[in-house]
Amino acid sequence: MQIISVINLKGGVGKTTIALNLAATLADHGHQVLLIDADPQQSATQWAQQGPAAGGAGALPMAVEPLRADDGAPQFQAAVARLAQAAQATLVVIDCPPELSDPALVAALLADLVLVPVTPSPLDLWAAKQAVATAQEARTLRDGRMPLISLVPSKLLPQTLLARDLPAALEALGEPVAPAITQRVALVEAI
């Protein structure tokens, strides 16, 4: 089983949107995917409940399970394993809470890949530095190679100076930078 954790200190940077769309895309490509909703807002869980049975437009192609992330590291790890086994998942995406605490560190420790969404704001860049440090701490506590870390420029307005400057600012954090996700109404309408 492989695990992708989506973490950042700040809310509103696109963690849930990225986690949901990534999980759905991987499921559409034949992977058995479980999305763990560890965010107290439970937005991913609410999105999943909008399927045909609830009068929504369509069901998500993967399982979505809410999971409290504040019960302690061993309990969180055991619950992820139990839920993944029940869903027969070979790939787990964890939508983390908007904070860097034990749950985020545990999610990074469990992960093969940590995605850190960052919007074009100096405040968000500062929060991303802390998220990268948390993921790097997890890497140090493990084998020194995992988790891989990728910064994801998120909610960019392409013609703005902040959007043009963000990738270079992210590269200075010393981890790979993924292709940017622009601010699009379609991402919100997908819900």
User: Mind listing the pLDDT tens digit for each residue in 104-137?
Assistant: 888 899 999 999 999 998 888 998 999 999 999 9
- Angle between the N-to-C axes of helices 102-110 and 122-141, in degrees from 0 to 180, rounded to the nearest 10: 60
pLDDT digits (tens, 9 = 90+) for 19-64: 999 999 999 999 999 999 998 899 999 988 876 554 444 578 899 9
The distance from CA 177 to its chain's CA centroid, rounded to whole angstroms, is: 15
Distance of CA 167 to the CA centre of its chain: 19
Nearest residue to 124 (alpha-carbon basis) of 37, 14, 43, 39 = 14
Maximum Cα interatomic distance, the chain, rounded to a whole number of Å? 47
Whether omega before 66 lies within 30 degrees of 0, making that bond cis, reads: no
pTM score of the predicted model: 0.91
